[in-house]
Amino acid sequence: MLELDAGAGCWSWMLELELVLVLVNPELRGRMRRYTRGEFLSLSAILAGAASLAKLPFNRAGAQRPTTEPLPQRGAGIEADFIVTNARVLTMDATQPRAEAFAVKDGRFLAIGTTADIRNVATQRTKVIDAGNMCVLPGFIDAHCHPSGVSELFGVVVTSLKTKAELVEALRKKAATTPPGFWVEGELFDDTKLTDAAPLDRHDLDRASTAHPIAVNHRGGHTSWYNSKALELAGITRSTPDPENGRFFRDSSGDLTGRVAELARGVFSRAGQRERFTPEQQRDRSRQGMRHISGLLTATGLTTVHDAGANGDRIRAYEDARANGELKHRAYMMIRGPYEQLRTAGVYTGFGDEWIRVGGVKYAADGSASERTMRMSTPYVGTNDYGILTMTQQEIHERVEDAHRNRWQVGIHANGDVTIDMVLQAYERVLKQWPHPDRRHRIEHCSLVNPDLLRRIKAAGVIPTPFWTYVYYHGEKWSQYGDEKLRWMFAHRSFLDTGIIVPGASDYGPGPFEPLMALQSMVTRRDYRGREWGPNQKVTLDEALKIATVNGAYASYEEKTKGSISAGKYADFVMLEKDPHDVDPGSIKDIRVMMTVVGGTTAHTAT
């Protein structure tokens, strides 16, 4: 059956003028006049004509803004820009689950059907891509990620180092080119990946330098290790008490180990000296980082990423990268930082366009799963440690009420069952007092659940975003939670069985962002060593694919424009060398990504 978009000319490109001016030119805040939605649409039409960039299919220069010329209506001589034929198309559209081919026009899917059907909308000018029976899927969607790229480009990345000696040597080399008193930092560290018997501590870092404050930052983003010089400059001693929302770790004798968790790390921001950049240099670094990470994301088949902590620098980086033709993926921004300014300017969830869109406001209420600091009702195995809260119940209530009443989606980081309960209390309260038919508030991570929490999540229409690569990648950590907890962690099966629309989320940098690794992790529940964790939470491959596409679009209110290969939706798709159904589930992550296309423009091709 041929599916054709009869109303292909009915969409428009939407650019909210006030949003862009406020974000890119903060000095205009408070002086902007208010525009009606109709005025915004009129302005958008004017700006679109001036700003749209010419675009050819499979242009490797980077994804650009789609053209805004309306498509001809049915019977008016529709001509596809390009067609893909002889493919195994898994559309993720329940009305037409499988197809052989599709056509694309102006960045949208025009028609889906058999190869013979689709050739009917091709002319001599139409580019034809013969997929050679390779598998084509909608572009993957990561519903929680932190895509900056700055650390990866400019920092000392220590992820691949397997011993403390290698780590110390990398830091020593950096210290040799850094003035005394200035910070030396290692990024994307993973403590349980070291092969040494003894854990990293401040004395190890002292071997790298005693003249520089040193920080080694866990890839999870919630803990860091500091050397003695850093502790000295921050005024942290053996007698310093732990703050309510953080911890200075100590050994059995009470001495500081150098490991510091959660908001206790804030004191180090005022200690020592750091390399400084002019505003222009900082902006350019951010743009370069976005260019770099965008290329990495799309190389794995990701076409949309929900940025779970977009501050002002990140927002400008998106716009700058797009202006330079370097932004290859779409971004749904969970705002963390300029929320109050945006709210005051009248911005709310949904402002933006199909490439860069304002999502919800983001908060964090407890610790980390990978760093073993999330707040739970029972302790970590063999300890009396229940984890750390970073917000009080009252603070959660206040933040949620403010955002909810100002038309914002809310996403609160809550890993442990205690914290999930606290967040649900706040969501239940505002939905009762100020009802909304489709607010879709989110619980970021939502790692450890139980039947009662599942029931309440479903009743409130809340979207959980559990980690999808963690079972595979972080397997060596799960013994600290124990088998019983793992039966209720990263609970994709339980969410689906309860009728909850659950997307997938990497939380990169804490977890790898590769969606094929995620599919394997959700389907097998086995870590990289082959150990199985919580097998009751396995999902089928088709369920995992829906989590990675359709459900991801739902989490950002975009299920009508992305998430499936359907006529009229954005032409975001990925071509895989093999169909995941045809390989051993334990090797899904090894399938090659041959091509990633976003809005009809090639963002990645395999070499």
User: For the ranges 90-94, 195-199, 321-325, which has the lowest average pLDDT?
Assistant: 195-199
DSSP summary character for residue 536: G
Q: Which of 418, 570, 425 is nearest to 107 (CA)?
A: 570
Q: Which of 140, 66, 82 is nearest to 299 (CA)?
A: 140
Q: Does residue 578 carry a pLDDT above 80?
A: yes
Q: Does residue 10 carry a pLDDT above 50?
A: no
Digit-coded pLDDT (tens) for 505-514: 999 999 999 9
Q: Does residue 25 carry a pLDDT above 70?
A: no
Six-digit token pair at 386? 């229940």
Q: Which residue has the tokens 């999502």?
A: 359
The reported pTM is: 0.85
pLDDT at 77: 60
pLDDT at 244: 86
User: 334 in helix, strand or coil?
Assistant: strand
Q: 3-139: what CATH class?
A: mainly beta
User: For the ranges 37-46, 94-103, 572-581, 590-599, which has the lowest average pLDDT?
Assistant: 37-46
pLDDT at 85: 98
Q: Does residue 36 carry a pLDDT above 60?
A: no
DSSP string, 33-50: PP--HHHHHHHHHHHHHH
Of 306 and 121, the one with more pLDDT: 306
Mean pLDDT for 209-222 is 93
Mean pLDDT for 112-122 is 94
Mean pLDDT for 42-61 is 30
Q: Does residue 256 carry a pLDDT above 80?
A: yes
Using pLDDT thresholds of 50, 70 and 90, give the confidence band for residue 127: very high
Mean pLDDT for 88-105 is 98
For the chain, give the mean pLDDT: 89
Using pLDDT thresholds of 50, 70 and 90, give the confidence band for residue 456: very high
49 backbone dihedrals φ, ψ, rounded to 5°: -65, -30
pLDDT at 78: 80
pLDDT at 21: 37
Q: 561: Cβ–Cβ under 8 A, 6 or more apart, which residues?
A: 354, 553, 569, 570
Q: Does residue 75 carry a pLDDT above 80?
A: no
Mean pLDDT for 23-40 is 38
pLDDT at 2: 52
C-alpha 21: how far from chain center: 25
pLDDT at 579: 98
Q: Which of 26, 280, 289, 17 is nearest to 151 (CA)?
A: 289
Q: Does residue 437 carry a pLDDT above 50?
A: yes
Digit-coded pLDDT (tens) for 160-200: 999 999 999 999 999 999 999 999 999 999 999 999 989 99
Q: Does residue 3 carry a pLDDT above 60?
A: no
User: 420 in helix, strand or coil?
Assistant: helix
Domain covering 150-270, topology: Diaminopimelate Epimerase; Chain A, domain 1 (3.10.310)
CA distance 198 to 250: 14
Domain range annotation of the chain: 3-139, 150-270
576 backbone dihedrals φ, ψ, rounded to 5°: -105, 145
Of 514 and 153, the one with more pLDDT: 514
DSSP summary character for residue 505: B
